[in-house]
Structure 1
Amino acid sequence: MRYGLVGTGMMGIEHLSNLAITPGAVVTALADPTTASLAWARGALKDRAAGVAVFEDAAALAACGLVDAVIVASPNHTHRAVLEPLFDAGLHILCEKPLATTIEDARWVVARAAASPGVFWTAMEYRYMPPAKAFIDAVHAGDVGALRMLSIREHRFPFLPKVGDWNRFSRNTGGTMVEKCCHFFDLMRLIVRSEAVRVYCSGAMDVNHRDERYGGETPDIIDNSYTVVDFANGVRAMLDLSMFAEGAENQEEIAAVGDAARLEVFIPSGELVTSPRTGFRRPKAVERRVIHTDPVALQAGSHHGSTFYEHQKFNAAVRGEGPVEVTAEDGLRAVAIGAAAEISAREHRVVAMAELGF
């Protein structure tokens, strides 16, 4: 299958690395208005760069006739403009998260995806981290009994520099709760198997970026928060985010608690821990195992191998050999919860999803 890539920054390079180890995938075109980024991408392609067409924008790439599928890894606020010519051309699309920076634009994507002859897939690679996948499967298999509580912790490094410093401002990203946390709101929906009804977020920019100035402007992105999400089926979920905790042994920790057991997963260690209920003062019965990830997939990116597994699923869907597992609607719902969290953090109140039309 012939692939094009729009947006050749850091995540774009990760996609190129994973396409290089995806059977049958051939990169035939790149598009990016930034010369330095294009040079970086061509360097990443190495000996495969010869013959790869280069364009300044998505419209030119869409019209070239050289691609069957396109990966969109351009800055968040460009997604709608980038996607329009790709939809017009009827191409298969894998669009990086967040789907868009606003609910309005995300709804537009959903409508266009529904009318398109091509496959549309929202890139939510955290679903495909092998330890996370094992955790999700175990919860759905009933290992914790009836799920009642879900908690996700990401303690990580600050936002990295990006071209033009676009990720320092909420107007370009949708805000941290959309940009970064849509992954986790997507995981919540997937694990809980219900829709959010209300959101409360307490967050602020307390440590990172406070002394930075871009064109005289100070960044306005949250760097730590607690977010509680109530779901329609009665399950409650919580996200604990810190973007000044890069020293943590595990970047992600997820825990599900049901009426029969607690299940935890730690990433990148890969440890999966099951703690059944035993009764007060009775011996614990904790079980531990490690979920391993293919070393080749691990080396192809910085998302614990998940981008590789995501590409295999997308490739299969394009060939008609598998379903679309992460739809535009999934992308919209994750953006909507993130948008509700941003409102909640700014206005210090609970936000009902019905206020946003959900």
Structure 2
Amino acid sequence: MMGQEHLRNIALIPGARVGAIFEPDAAMRVAASGLAPGAVMVDSLAEVLAVAEVNCLLIASPNFLHLAQLEEIAAIRALPILVEKPLFTDPADAPRLAALRAAYPAPIWVAMEYRYMPPVAHLIAQAQAATGGIRMLTIREHRFPFLEKVGDWNRLSQKTGGTLVEKCCHFFDLMRLIAGCDPVRVMASGGQSVNHLDEVYDGQPSDIWDNAYVIVDFENGLRAMLELCMFAEGARYQEEISAVGPAGKIECLVPGPGRFWPAHLGDAPVPQVIVSPRDPKGPVVLDVPVDPALLAAGDHNGSTFYQHQGFARVVRDGGATQVSLRDGWWAVAIGMAAQQSAISGQAIDLTRVDYAPKG
């Protein structure tokens, strides 16, 4: 699904096209070929890199493959890369990521689509002015269960990194971006309460969590909380984000994928941003509609297009990526700490764990 969303959005970027695709699953290979009929279909990552006209790469493979594929690219032909989150799934692999980060000579942009959703981007841009300096940040996601994936890889924490890494690294990235500094402590409670309870894959019961609360403390004193529920697809809005400070509150409301909205209810909800000053009191509501062509290209409220637009500028003109390896690494580290906290019942000091970025 995500690979196909990327293909549809690349097709919307002026001057960009897909030169080669490595897709090992037969059905997905047919689907990808239909979306990018001019692309050469190959049988390995090395064959993609051997296509001379390919000048940048997208990685949209299962989570547990990302780091090894980055290392393979580094060893063969280091090109600019847009890599889907999460960067890695095992805390023990952090030294490998550190080595890659130190040596890779080309830009690597970690795909954090939520930054680029128009209502979320509006909140980020206006948050300091609306709040007078954020003290509390809350992200609520009430959504549908994990979708079916090729080979059911997303049903096992061993392959995904766990729900708080796989799904929630997006939100931890947003927290850190909005805070403008690094986290220092994580506390969490979570588990598997409703979804996939009776599912077994290759003899292993599904162990993927479907709900959690996570509290993150940051260096500057900002407190952030995530509320995740993955059996709440009946909700009007999928994400609700609020930032509060001494001057007021700003929040955004983001609907889920339009294809899941019940047709009998009419048009899907329009994203909104609401600013609620303390003085003078009175919320101001702003609709933030998304271009219908971008909505049709994927499930992320147009954000994948804006992400590719930025990545294309980096490939063509140079400069730094907007979401660095360090950013992507921190998002994973917070998720890993949250899972460790939920299992142990203890707060995790992020300044003392081996899997958090150093420097």
- 1:80 is displaced (CA, Å) by 1.6
**1:13-162 to 2 correspondences below 5 Å:** 13-45=4-36, 49-50=37-38, 52-88=39-75, 89-140=77-128, 142-162=129-149
Structure 1: how far apart are the matches of 2:41 and 2:98?
A: 28
Equivalent of 2:180 in 190, 193, 202: 193
Structure 1: how far apart are the matches of 2:47 and 2:101?
A: 20
- 1:56 is displaced (CA, Å) by 2.2
**Partner residue of 1:317?**
314
- 1:110 is displaced (CA, Å) by 4.7
Contact 2:20/2:40 (8 A) holds in 1: yes
**Gap regions ≥5 residues in structure 1:** 1-9
* SS of equivalent residue, structure 1 residue 319: helix
* SS of equivalent residue, structure 2 residue 204: coil
Contact 2:107/2:320 (8 A) holds in 1: no
**Partner residue of 2:328?**
331
**Partner residue of 2:289?**
292
**1:225-264 to 2 correspondences below 5 Å:** 225-264=212-251
**TM-score w.r.t. length of structure 2:** 0.91
- 1:208 is displaced (CA, Å) by 0.1
- 1:33 is displaced (CA, Å) by 1.8
How far does the alpha carbon of each residue in 1:75-123 deviate from its partner, in whole angstroms, 9 at most, with x for none?
0001122112222301110000111113443553353244233221000
Structure 2: how far apart are the matches of 1:68 and 1:56?
A: 19
Contact 2:33/2:41 (8 A) holds in 1: no
Structure 2: how far apart are the matches of 1:219 and 1:162?
A: 13
Matched, 1:349 2:346: yes
Structure 1: how far apart are the matches of 2:73 and 2:94?
A: 16
How far does the alpha carbon of each residue in 1:54-88 deviate from its partner, in whole angstroms, 9 at most, with x for none?
12221221233231011000000011221122223
- 1:347 is displaced (CA, Å) by 1.3
**Partner residue of 1:307?**
304
Contact 1:106/1:335 (8 A) holds in 2: no
* SS of equivalent residue, structure 2 residue 205: coil
**Partner residue of 1:165?**
152
Structure 1: how far apart are the matches of 2:251 and 2:271?
A: 10
- 1:346 is displaced (CA, Å) by 1.3
How far does the alpha carbon of each residue in 1:105-155 deviate from its partner, in whole angstroms, 9 at most, with x for none?
355335324423322100001000010000000014x22102100000000
- The one-letter code sitting in structure 2 at the alignment partner of 1:116 is Y
- The one-letter code sitting in structure 2 at the alignment partner of 1:274 is V
**Partner residue of 2:201?**
214
- What is the percent sequence identity of the aligned residues? 50
**Partner residue of 1:270?**
271
**TM-score w.r.t. length of structure 1:** 0.91
Contact 2:82/2:110 (8 A) holds in 1: yes
- The one-letter code sitting in structure 2 at the alignment partner of 1:318 is V
Give RMSD over aligned pairs.
1.5
- 1:184 is displaced (CA, Å) by 0.1
Structure 2: how far apart are the matches of 1:165 and 1:217?
A: 12
